[in-house]
């Protein structure tokens, strides 16, 4: 169950081989069996390998795609002064079942972000660690476009400071 891709083959030199993929509960595994004596053995061994993987490992989802990880990130020289940082992909780590406490993450934002900024532009990273060793890096991207400010934009900001008292 869950098998969603397979490639089989055999030659006299390589014997019976298989590459199989399966997905279950957010986890995709790949099993590769080379040099089996029979076609039946290659399928049995691939099944055993996939079942072992699903029984003992899981994908721990830390945050979903598009989730905000940094709010009010400063932007200089733009029509707007702030953007939000969102993750471009689902942030996850592949771990032994029950070992979520061995994983951690940090959000590292770039400093000195200058306009223009495009929606989806990389502005930082989520760094995922397992047992204090970095295992994955995911992009943090801007949630919106920010155009570079022109002379009139700066003029309006100056006038706004006088009219708002600040």
pLDDT tens for 11-32 read 888 999 999 999 998 899 999 9
- From the list 20, 19, 15, 14, the residue with the least C-alpha distance to 2 is 20
Which tens digits make up the pLDDT trace of 46-83?
999 999 999 999 999 999 999 999 999 999 999 999 99
Task: Please give the C-alpha separations between residue 25 and each of 29, 54, 58, 76, 143, in angstroms, as whole numbers.
Answer: 11, 9, 8, 43, 29
Task: Tell me how far apart the alpha carbons of residues 100 and 68 are, in angstroms, rounded to a whole number.
Answer: 21
Helices of type H across the chain: 39-56, 151-164
> For residue 163, what pLDDT is reported?
74
Task: Check pLDDT > 70 for residue 166.
Answer: no
Burial status of residue 90 (CB atoms within 10 A of its CB: 0-12, 13-18, 19 or more): middle
Token couple for 22: 């399966």
The CB density around residue 86, as the number of other CB atoms within 10 Å, is 23
Percent with pLDDT over 90 in the chain: 80
Q: How confident is the model at residue 2 (pLDDT cuts 50, 70, 90)?
A: confident
Burial 36-68 (b: 16+ CB within 10 A, else e): beeeeebbebbbebbeebbeeebbbebbeeeee
Name the DSSP class of 147.
P
* CB 163, CB 145: distance < 8 Å: no
Q: How confident is the model at residue 42 (pLDDT cuts 50, 70, 90)?
A: very high
> For residue 165, what pLDDT is reported?
60
């Amino acid at each position: 169950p869950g098998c969603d891709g397979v490639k089989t083959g055999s030659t006299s030199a390589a014997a019976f081989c298989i590459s199989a993929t399966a997905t279950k509960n957010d986890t995709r595994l790949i099993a590769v069996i080379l040099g089996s004596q029979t076609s039946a053995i290659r399928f049995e061994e691939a099944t055993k390998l996939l079942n072992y993987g699903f029984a003992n490992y899981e994908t721990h989802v830390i945050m979903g795609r598009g989730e905000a990880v940094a709010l009010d990130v400063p932007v200089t020289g733009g029509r707007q002064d702030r953007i939000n940082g969102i993750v471009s992909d689902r942030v996850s780590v592949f771990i032994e079942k029950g070992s979520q406490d061995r994983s951690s993450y940090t959000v590292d934002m770039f400093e000195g972000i200058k306009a223009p900024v495009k929606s989806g532009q990389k502005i930082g990273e989520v760094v995922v660690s397992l047992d204090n060793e970095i295992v994955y890096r995911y992009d943090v991207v801007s949630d919106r476009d920010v155009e570079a400010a022109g002379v009139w934009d700066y003029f309006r900001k100056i006038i706004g400071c006088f009219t708002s008292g600040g």
